[in-house]
Amino acid sequence: MAARYDTVSFLSDYGTADEFVGVVKSVLRSLAPHAAVIDITHEIPPHDVRAGGLCLARACQYLTAGVVLAVVDPGVGTARRALAVEVGGGESVLVGPDNGLLAPAVALVGGATRAVLLTNPDLRLPAAGATFDGRDLFAPAAAHLCNGIPLGDLGEDIDPALLRPGVMPLTRVEGGAVVAEALWVDRFGNVQLNVDPAEVAEFGPRIGVEWGEQSRTGTLAVAYGELSAGEVGLVVDSYGLLSIALDRRSAAEELGLGPGSQVTLRALADDPLVDVAPPVPITLRARTSPSGAG
């Protein structure tokens, strides 16, 4: 059997304080010693399928062709299904639980071209307990795929349309404003919104940012270093989405934002010198298009 893939990209919520990640890599190494493993991250918050799915979606377009092993799996040991999902006609295969974790990445790279359930009992490691499918089920499947096993040997085919979908929140427009959601806070405290810059392109270079009981004026910027002290930046981040940022400080911490926070972006009234822009629904209601208000 000729080796087919030589890279396993690995994401989990295992953390690195325990031996979980090392044990999974040891299983991969023992079964498919030619394959290199690249850690995407293992610090997805425990059981947070949504955060894991978003992280995988951010990373996926950069991953090396090969096997993607993703395990955030609160339902381990229960009847939830285990999957291998082929994308790009076999360029890569994603392996993990069928709980929505893989779905956003699969969608972003063009959808599944085939999917199978990991039901072949011969490929599972014998184990004392049923709580570590990363080691006993998913890693062996990933290793066998690296070794060139046909996808169908892992288990029966399933219609990719029946995979559990992921959740990707969409913005909505209310009174000319864009009601968005914070997807992710990165290590530097930048708050990624689910907003394509095109959605606010006509709001001008200064935009009202509202969340909870607060509102501030945000400044569009290309780099964090362009922001002056205290200025709230709206920066197109490295994935092409709008993010709320401060220069060298954590926007999430200082502004009290986190994943799931609702944030409204609103064209400012004519006076660009007003630093704090309270919602002015009357002004906005009068606008007939989202343009020209900045």
Q: By C-beta, is 144 or 177 nearer to its own copies?
A: 144
Residue 86 main-chain phi, psi, to 5 deg: -85, 135
Q: By C-beta, is 177 or 251 nearer to its own copies?
A: 251
Report in angstroms how near the CB of residue 234 gets to its own copies at its nearest: 11
Q: By C-beta, is 9 or 261 nearer to its own copies?
A: 9
Report in angstroms how near the CB of residue 181 gets to its own copies at its nearest: 18
Report in angstroms how near the CB of residue 33 gets to its own copies at its nearest: 7
Q: By C-beta, is 44 or 209 nearer to its own copies?
A: 44
DSSP class per residue in 226-266: GSPTTPEEEEE-TTS-EEEE-SSS-HHHHHT--TT-EEEEE
- Which residue type does 40 have? I
Report in angstroms how near the CB of residue 186 gets to its own copies at its nearest: 5
Which residues would be at the binding site for its own copies (CB under 8 A)? Answer: 6-7, 9, 11, 13-23, 25-27, 29-30, 33, 36, 38-43, 46-47, 55, 58-59, 62-65, 74-78, 80, 127-132, 135-136, 186-188, 222-226, 235-241, 247-248
Side by side, which strands form the sheet with 67-71? 36-41, 7-12, 67-71, 92-97, 82-87, 112-117
Taking alpha carbons only, the member of 99, 105, 110 closest to residue 72 is: 99
Q: By C-beta, is 187 or 285 nearer to its own copies?
A: 187
Determine the Cα angle at 108 with ends 200 and 267, to 5°. 5
Regarding beta strands 82-87 and 36-41, do their DSSP bridges make them parallel or antiparallel, or are they unpaired?
A: unpaired
The pair of three-digit structure tokens given for residue 212, joined into one six-digit string: 């909870």
Cα–Cα distance between 185 and 104 in angstroms, integer? 18
Cα–Cα distance between 216 and 222 in angstroms, integer? 19
Helix 139-146 and helix 20-31, axial crossing angle in degrees, nearest 10 = 30
Cα–Cα distance between 234 and 222 in angstroms, integer? 8
Q: By C-beta, is 192 or 261 nearer to its own copies?
A: 192
Report in angstroms how near the CB of residue 157 gets to its own copies at its nearest: 26
Q: By C-beta, is 11 or 255 nearer to its own copies?
A: 11
The pair of three-digit structure tokens given for residue 104, joined into one six-digit string: 């956003």
Report in angstroms how near the CB of residue 278 gets to its own copies at its nearest: 30
Report in angstroms how near the CB of residue 5 gets to its own copies at its nearest: 12
Q: Is 197 exposed, middle or buried (0-12, 13-18, 19+ CB in 10 A)?
A: middle
